[in-house]
């Protein structure tokens, strides 16, 4: 009976919000129950007509047209039952209450439908804006980049969302193919803003910085600048924009058969070779972007690994490895990569998406971003 534009809070929503939502939905029926109790006891001398008339109007706020009609039906049943029990059918007041209930129900249903239609239009507009933002912020990676072929996939955990706090990109530069996959701490618009800042800095720096570490340094510096700007403009003590940091892995694939990686607190990429999967674990772990104060001296180093023709490289966010099934077991991403090793990039990503959603029972707890790169023969 819930209107399509009125969604319940997500399971992870604030508990107080869930309680308020449940109370708002149950209020019309609670009023009808109170009226029934009053009318069936000696307290029926209290005039309860206006309470029943108000139930459809209250239901229209949270339950939509179908819920409004249901609340009105309950109110009508209570009115008929109590009037019969108290032998009140001969009085004009009963008929006046029934007429008022019919009028309020009609007005409430019409209002609820109008509000629902307006919210549907607003939702469609928001979705169109989100799709446009996704095309700019998280555009699919090019299929052919220098010595590699690539493909990307993004799964938003939030129902109806197009973009979230995960980010990725792949760019052909004079230094080779440069890629980034990252994950912003936090959710909502602050996370999207941080992702946009990091991607903007990456897309600019990759073309003129020959040192991959300096590219990463530019991303961290842009994130800190944005946090400082947000801090200066905050009103009312809202620190939501200042709490985020970004884990990220930045890779460079030159024409030589290797790959250079700078990892800033991110899950290591997976390298598939001859049916075996190997994580490219950093030699010196570093904190995420935005936490550079915990780095002493140079802001990191580049690790180099062989990346031979026929190899497959998988860069991913932690949503892919932290997805759990009904028994709270983590998704075996390395095992899935090994099982799907013979698939082409697009079919690999599609089958991986199915396996991931099947393991998580169709509901992800976190966004997932994946970029798969094949080295050409």
Tokens of 128: 């169109």
What's the mean pLDDT in 52-67? 82
Per-residue pLDDT at 130: 63
**What phi and psi, each to the nearest 5 degrees, are found at residue 173?**
-130, 175
- Is 264 in contact with 251 (CB distance < 8 Å)? no
Q: Is the pLDDT of residue 306 over 50?
A: yes
The DSSP string of 274-335 is TTEEEE---SS--PPBT-GGG--SSS---EEEE--TT-EEEEE-GGGTS-B-TT-PBP-HHH
The answer to whether residues 182 and 165 touch, using CB atoms and an 8 Å cutoff, is no
Q: What percent of the chain has pLDDT above 70?
A: 81
- What does the angle CA 4 – CA 57 – CA 52 come to, to the nearest 5 degrees? 130
Strands of 246-253's sheet in order across:
166-173, 176-184, 246-253, 258-264, 303-306
Is this prediction's pTM over 0.85? no
Pairwise pLDDT comparison (17 vs 324), residue with the higher score? 324
pLDDT confidence of residue 81: 82
Which CATH architecture is the domain 138-375 placed in? 4-Layer Sandwich (3.60)
pLDDT in tens, 345-374: 999 999 999 999 999 988 888 889 999 999
Mean pLDDT, the chain, whole residue set: 82
Query: What angle do the packed helices 64-85 and 49-62 form, to 10 degrees?
Result: 160
Per mean pLDDT, which range of 16-20, 32-36, 59-63 is the poorest? 16-20
pLDDT value of position 61: 79
User: Which residues, at least 6 apart from 24, have a Cβ–Cβ distance to it below 8 Å?
Assistant: 61, 62
What span, in angstroms and rounded, lies between the C-alpha atoms of 338 and 110?
A: 57
The domain ranges of the chain are: 15-131, 138-375
- Tell me the two tokens of residue 296: 């002493």
Pairwise pLDDT comparison (22 vs 262), residue with the higher score? 262
Q: What is the mean pLDDT of residues 289-299?
A: 72
* pLDDT the model gives residue 76: 84
Pull the structure tokens for residue 329: 């077991």
The string of pLDDT tens digits covering residues 96-146 is 777 888 888 888 888 888 887 888 887 777 766 666 666 667 788 999 998
Nearest-CA neighbor of 63 among 13, 34, 27? Answer: 27
Confidence band for 69, pLDDT divided at 50, 70 and 90 = confident
DSSP-based helix, strand, coil % in the chain, nearest 5: 50, 20, 35
Kindly report the length of the chain.
377
Higher pLDDT, 310 or 88: 310
Reported confidence tier of residue 6, pLDDT bands at 50, 70, 90: very low
- Please, which pLDDT band fits residue 267 given cuts at 50, 70 and 90? very high
């Amino acid at each position: 009976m819930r209107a399509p534009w009125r969604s319940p809070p997500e399971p992870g929503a604030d508990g107080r919000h869930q309680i308020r939502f449940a109370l708002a939905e149950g209020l019309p029926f609670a009023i009808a129950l109170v009226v029934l109790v009053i009318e069936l006891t000696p307290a029926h001398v209290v005039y309860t007509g206006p309470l029943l008339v108000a139930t459809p109007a209250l239901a229209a706020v949270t339950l939509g047209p179908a819920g409004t009609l249901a609340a009105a039906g309950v109110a009508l049943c209570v009115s008929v039952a109590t009037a019969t029990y108290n032998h009140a059918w001969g009085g004009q007041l009963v008929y006046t209450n029934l007429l008022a209930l019919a009028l309020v129900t009609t007005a409430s249903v019409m209002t609820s439908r109008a509000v629902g239609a307006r919210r549907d239009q607003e939702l469609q507009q928001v979705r169109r804006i989100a799709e446009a933002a996704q095309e700019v912020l998280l555009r699919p990676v090019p299929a052919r980049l220098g010595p590699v072929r690539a493909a990307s996939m993004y799964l938003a955990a939030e129902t109806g969302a197009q973009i979230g706090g995960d980010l990725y990109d792949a760019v052909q530069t004079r230094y080779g193919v440069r890629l980034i996959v990252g994950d912003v701490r936090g959710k909502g618009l602050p996370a999207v803003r941080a992702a946009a800042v990091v991607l903007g800095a990456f897309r600019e720096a990759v073309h003129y910085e020959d040192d991959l570490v300096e590219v990463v340094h530019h991303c961290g510096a842009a994130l800190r600048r944005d946090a400082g700007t947000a801090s200066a403009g905050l009103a009312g003590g809202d620190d939501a924009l200042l709490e985020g940091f970004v884990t990220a892995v930045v890779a460079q694939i030159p024409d030589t058969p290797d790959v250079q990686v700078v990892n800033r607190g991110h899950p290591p990429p997976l390298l598939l070779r001859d049916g075996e999967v190997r994580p490219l674990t950093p030699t010196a772990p570093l904190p995420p972007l935005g936490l550079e104060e915990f780095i002493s001296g140079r802001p990191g180093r580049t690790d180099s690994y062989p990346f031979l023709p026929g190899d497959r490289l998988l860069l991913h966010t932690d949503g892919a490895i932290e997805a759990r099934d009904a028994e709270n077991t983590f998704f075996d991403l390395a095992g899935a990569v090994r099982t799907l090793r013979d698939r082409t990039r697009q079919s690999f990503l599609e089958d991986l998406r199915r396996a991931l959603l099947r393991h998580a029972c169709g509901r992800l707890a976190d966004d997932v971003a994946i970029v798969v790169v094949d080295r050409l023969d």
